[in-house]
Amino acid sequence: MKTQVIRRTMNPVHGWLALLLTVLFCLVQTSVVQAADHTPVQGAEALRSTLFDVQMALAGDATTAAATMETVEVLTVEPWFVTLTEVAPTAAATVQQALTDAQTAVDNGDGPAFAAARAQVWTALLSGAQTIVLQAVAQGDVTTAREWLLVREFRQATRFSRPNADATLALVALESGQISAEDAANAIRADLYDTYQARLTEALRNLASADEQGFALRRAEHAASAQGYFAILQPAYLEQRQAMATDALRADLAALTAATLANASTAELQAQLATVSAALDGFRAAPLLPAEQAQRAGQLLRFLNLVGVEYGRGVRNGEVTSDLEIREAVTFFTGARAAFDDLRDLLAARDGAQTTALVTLFTDLEAQINSAVTRQDVADPAAVDTTVTAINDQLHATMPEAWLRRDNSADFDVIQTSLDNMEAAVASGDYALAESARVDAYAILESGPEARIQAFAAQYKLPIEDLFWYGQGEEVGLAYLISQEADLAAVKQTRAALNAQLDAAELAVSGNSSSFALASNAAIIVFREGLEAVLILASLMAGFKSLEQRRLRKPMWWGAGAAGLASILTWLLAQGLLTSLARYGEALEAIVSLIAIGVLLLITNWFFHQNYWTGH
């Protein structure tokens, strides 16, 4: 009985202990399973996000930062990190050293040092992932290559610069046997090099900006990021510039990181940045193909011209009147500068002095646009136009002739690419990026083929506008669908209708149109517009019926001849005038049309009044 009593007394305790142990066991097992199930990209992102959490905690809660830092060690014993250690030992060693530096920074409460170490961990992971991908491709292991290719970055996405999918497409082609392993490796390397060189440029630019604003953590992080990105690009730099220059640049970047950690002055950092920039001048890790060069040049010229247009629409009398237009000007400038950065080394090879001057002009233009953003000493639109014109003139003087040729089919290709990106963004649920891609496509249409569509295929203009924007016809406009976060099927349906209209418009305005068709269109336009003037002139002369009135016909003939000469002079003046008034767009077109109607009504009223009302 005592035993039974004891058992009854202890059962609740045993039950709670058993339950607690079971829960703990399940949690441990779940944690182990989750850790074991980490893919390379999941593990890398988990390490990255954990370090970010540590950095956030370090600013105000050292205890939490230290506790969170202890969890990092678990991630470095997972299978994905073991693979990194075995296949890319140099990158893995860099990660381990950076983690050691990060732990020291946490112990010392040193935020900038931790930010630098965190950046070094991430860029070393990117470097190791690239090594694993290229080795897997060489061995024909597409599965491993695809897993590790996800551990990468993309170029900063803007409306005019979209994430590149060349590496992914190369793996697809390799798997299907369409290309060799060597060709796939070259495509992957070019894609990643292009991305990381763009990131290197951004890191150096952001470093200068962070220094001006006095952000110590960001300054250290950007400097370390630049150092890490160059480590990825180092083989390409070594091949082009040899060992001595490579060692010098690597040392300069290390010194730049050290200077940010030592809280160097702005003057010292600017001097070091100038040294690094000079060493990078003319370097292109993944040279652009001729078609890509022409495409970047077209983007540069197209978006640069739109900067002045949008800025002029948003500023009047020294005040910002439209935030939307200023945002558009900033976006177009960002696209233009990104294209310029891609072409800078090629332009420098043709004319170094002109390219240096262009860099200065782009800096001036950025300052002018930022004045509207900050609303401090807002630059006059005329000053922005002057800067844009100066850049345009120097670009036309420096660019090869092949870059300056306008290719309408290329414009339509870029439009389709942007619409592809829009669909991809909708599929991933990123409607903000989808809207950016849609506006990107429309901006290219507006600045390129739209004028020819208006002249030679006007019947397509309104349907295209409706499908791009808020049309509510059989197919709802893309802008409306994106604003309502419609599903992918609806977007695809409208996209198909838009493609049909764009294809028809492209065919109508393409350079393949026959000479007879072009001549016929021109003749119809001239006949249609000229017929109005002829009918008015004939009506007026017919009204001069009496002998006394017939003497007025001769002055009218002289007036008609003078009007013809005036038309030629007006056409010559309009070439410059219409360009300067382009910022007023369709509003100007509407005003001019109303004036034309008013003049026509005035003349008609005068004629009827003279002939049928007063009898004169």
pTM score over 0.85: no
Integer Cα distance of 333 and 124 in angstroms: 32
Confidence grade of residue 86 (pLDDT, cut at 50, 70, 90): very high
- Residue 612 has a pLDDT of 61
- Residue 33 has a pLDDT of 36
Has residue 11 got a pLDDT over 60?
A: no
pLDDT tens, position by position, 210-238: 988 889 999 999 999 999 999 999 999 99
How is residue 476 annotated by DSSP?
B
Long-range contacts of 444-450 (CB under 8 A, 24+ apart): 444/302, 444/411, 444/414, 444/415, 444/418, 445/411, 445/415, 447/302, 447/303, 447/305, 447/306, 448/302, 448/406, 448/408, 448/411, 449/408, 449/411, 449/412, 449/505, 449/506, 449/509
Has residue 408 got a pLDDT over 90?
A: no
Has residue 153 got a pLDDT over 80?
A: yes
Has residue 45 got a pLDDT over 70?
A: yes
- Residue 444 has a pLDDT of 77
Integer Cα distance of 576 and 581 in angstroms: 9
Expressed in angstroms, the distance from the first to the final Cα of the chain is 137
Average pLDDT over residues 92-115: 95
Residue-range domain boundaries for the chain: 1-35, 38-279, 290-404, 408-509, 514-571, 581-616
- Residue 247 has a pLDDT of 95
Has residue 18 got a pLDDT over 60?
A: no
Percentage of the chain with pLDDT > 90?
A: 39
Integer Cα distance of 85 and 473 in angstroms: 59
- Residue 535 has a pLDDT of 72
Is the CB of residue 446 less than 8 Å from the CB of residue 455? no
- Residue 93 has a pLDDT of 96
Average pLDDT over residues 465-492: 90
pLDDT tens, position by position, 470-479: 888 888 999 8
- Look at 56-70, 157-171, 395-409 and tell me which has the smallest mean pLDDT: 157-171
pLDDT tens, position by position, 522-575: 677 667 667 767 777 776 666 666 566 666 677 777 877 787 788 777 777 766
Map tokens 């409460």 to a residue: 109
Contacts of 133 (CB under 8 A, 6+ apart): 144, 145, 148, 149, 167, 188
- Residue 587 has a pLDDT of 60
Average pLDDT over residues 448-460: 79
- Residue 6 has a pLDDT of 36
- Residue 54 has a pLDDT of 93
- Residue 443 has a pLDDT of 76
- Residue 506 has a pLDDT of 84
Confidence grade of residue 318 (pLDDT, cut at 50, 70, 90): confident
Q: What is the mean pLDDT of the chain?
A: 82
Average pLDDT over residues 453-482: 87
The tokens describing 280, both together, are 């990078």
Confidence grade of residue 23 (pLDDT, cut at 50, 70, 90): very low
Confidence grade of residue 160 (pLDDT, cut at 50, 70, 90): very low
Q: Which position has the higher pLDDT, 265 or 413? A: 265
The tokens describing 383, both together, are 């000053």
Has residue 1 got a pLDDT over 70?
A: no
pLDDT tens, position by position, 371-400: 999 888 899 999 999 999 999 999 999 999
